[in-house]
């Protein structure tokens, strides 16, 4: 059952929200670009009806929205039923009950698989220090503790998210990553984020900050969508990884590598994993004009309802997960990539 009030679901979508021009590529600062397409929100009926041009950088290959929503419009493009907020509120009351949910268990299992390649480059043991950027309700911190025994620290701009991390027993700070300044200039063995870099204003500033916070010899690891896949090219404005208007910069293995190397990191590896959610969003966008919102939402739920532990949600995600596994096996990549960098020892 959805815990979202009806008044939130019936909120009228905004038109003509505040936007800002992005004249240069947010990943490499080049002004050379072309417009790939124009994309509209389809996942949340109570967000915005505006269209957003999707640019492609002709130097590094990154895709970015320009104009993109202004930060003053964040509460419009992240409506109160945004799935991350719903996940956070679910884990607020009874942490153990939230953890036992079928969706939570499946997500945690998939995530533990995704992060295993990190162990090739660093002996991951309990003494290692780790920072999780955009820690949300602490499920990633928990997965890292369960997989490797590392008790990390979290940062998130949501006070509610930070409170839930603390409830799960982790140290957590409520601030923007760019403003985070640990006491005594502390650095970490592992700086990690999952699906954060594509949401930030400046991926370059993000990576510079990540470099400062990574100990020499330590690792910086992030998970982000990969635009180099056949489905990202084939489905165009319908591709679920676009998550418009919330994903502001999208990378491929080459642009991600360039971005890391530009701030001083050594690139170690880019690995690929499954992401059934992108497929759900792709099919939602494709079917919406033909089936209408009610039917399309029921078959391919794209808003907070895709995280509900229903049999259909689990079956669909399982099917799409196998589709991505086949992608990885046959083509060597998927729409979900894990980029691993090392800060050189000085």
Binding site for Zn ion (CB under 5 A): 25, 27-28, 30, 57, 59-60, 62
What tokens appear for 173 in the block? Answer: 């700070």
Rounded to 10 deg, the angle between the 83-93 and 159-167 helix axes is 40
Least Cβ distance, residue 58 to Zn ion (angstroms): 8
Pick 62 or 191: Cβ nearer Zn ion: 62
| Spatial CA neighbour of 338 closest among 110, 88, 180, 174 | 110
Least Cβ distance, residue 212 to Zn ion (angstroms): 22
Pick 262 or 305: Cβ nearer Zn ion: 262
Beta strands in 121-179 (DSSP E): 130-133, 153-156, 171-174
Contact by Cβ (8 Å): 204, 263? yes
Pick 61 or 138: Cβ nearer Zn ion: 61
Report the sign of the C-alpha dihedral through residues 238, 243, 248, 254, in that order: negative
Pick 75 or 261: Cβ nearer Zn ion: 261
Least Cβ distance, residue 266 to Zn ion (angstroms): 20
Contact by Cβ (8 Å): 141, 135? yes
Least Cβ distance, residue 262 to Zn ion (angstroms): 10
Pick 27 or 86: Cβ nearer Zn ion: 27
**β-strand partners of 250:** 63
- Strands 130-133 and 214-225, sheet pairing: unpaired
Contact by Cβ (8 Å): 221, 190? yes
Contact by Cβ (8 Å): 136, 88? yes
Pick 57 or 207: Cβ nearer Zn ion: 57
Least Cβ distance, residue 60 to Zn ion (angstroms): 3
Q: Which residues contact 197 (CB under 8 A, 6 or more apart)?
A: 203, 206, 207, 222, 224, 249, 251
Pick 33 or 173: Cβ nearer Zn ion: 33
Least Cβ distance, residue 252 to Zn ion (angstroms): 11
Least Cβ distance, residue 24 to Zn ion (angstroms): 8
Least Cβ distance, residue 20 to Zn ion (angstroms): 18
Pick 57 or 339: Cβ nearer Zn ion: 57
**β-strand partners of 33:** 57
How far, in Å, CA of 280 to CA of 171, rounded?
34
Residues in the chain: 346
- Strands 130-133 and 153-156, sheet pairing: parallel
């Amino acid at each position: 059952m959805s815990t979202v009030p009806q008044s939130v679901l019936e909120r009228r979508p905004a038109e003509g929200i505040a936007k800002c021009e992005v004249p240069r590529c947010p990943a490499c600062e080049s002004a050379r670009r072309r417009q790939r397409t124009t994309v509209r929100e389809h996942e949340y009926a109570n967000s915005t009806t505006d269209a957003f041009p999707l640019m492609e950088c002709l130097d590094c290959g990154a895709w970015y929205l320009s104009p993109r929503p202004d930060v003053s419009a964040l509460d419009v493009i992240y409506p109160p039923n945004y799935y991350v907020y719903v996940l956070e509120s679910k884990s607020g009351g009874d942490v153990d009950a939230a953890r036992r949910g079928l969706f939570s268990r499946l997500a945690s299992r998939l995530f533990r698989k995704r992060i295993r390649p990190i162990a090739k480059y660093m002996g991951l043991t309990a003494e290692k220090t780790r920072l999780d950027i955009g820690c949300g309700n602490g499920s990633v911190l928990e997965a890292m503790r369960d997989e490797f025994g590392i008790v990390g620290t979290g940062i998130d701009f949501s006070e509610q998210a930070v409170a839930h991390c603390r409830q799960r027993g982790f140290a957590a700070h409520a601030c923007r990553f760019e403003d985070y300044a640990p006491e005594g200039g502390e650095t970490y063995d592992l700086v990690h984020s999952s699906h954060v870099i594509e949401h930030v204003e400046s991926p370059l500033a993000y990576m510079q900050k990540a470099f400062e916070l990574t100990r020499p010899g330590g690792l910086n690891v992030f998970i982000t969508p990969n635009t180099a896949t056949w489905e990202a090219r084939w489905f165009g404005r319908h591709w679920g990884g676009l998550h418009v208007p919330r994903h502001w910069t999208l990378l491929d293995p080459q642009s991600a590598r360039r971005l890391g190397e530009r701030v001083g990191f050594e690139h170690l590896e880019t690995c690929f994993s499954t992401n059934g959610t992108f497929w759900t969003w792709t099919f939602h966008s494709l079917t919406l004009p033909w089936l209408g919102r009610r039917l399309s939402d029921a078959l391919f739920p794209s808003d907070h309802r895709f995280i509900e532990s229903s049999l259909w949600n689990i079956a669909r995600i399982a099917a799409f997960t196998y589709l991505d596994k086949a992608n990885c096996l046959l083509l060597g990549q998927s729409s979900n990539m894990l980029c691993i960098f090392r800060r050189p020892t000085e």
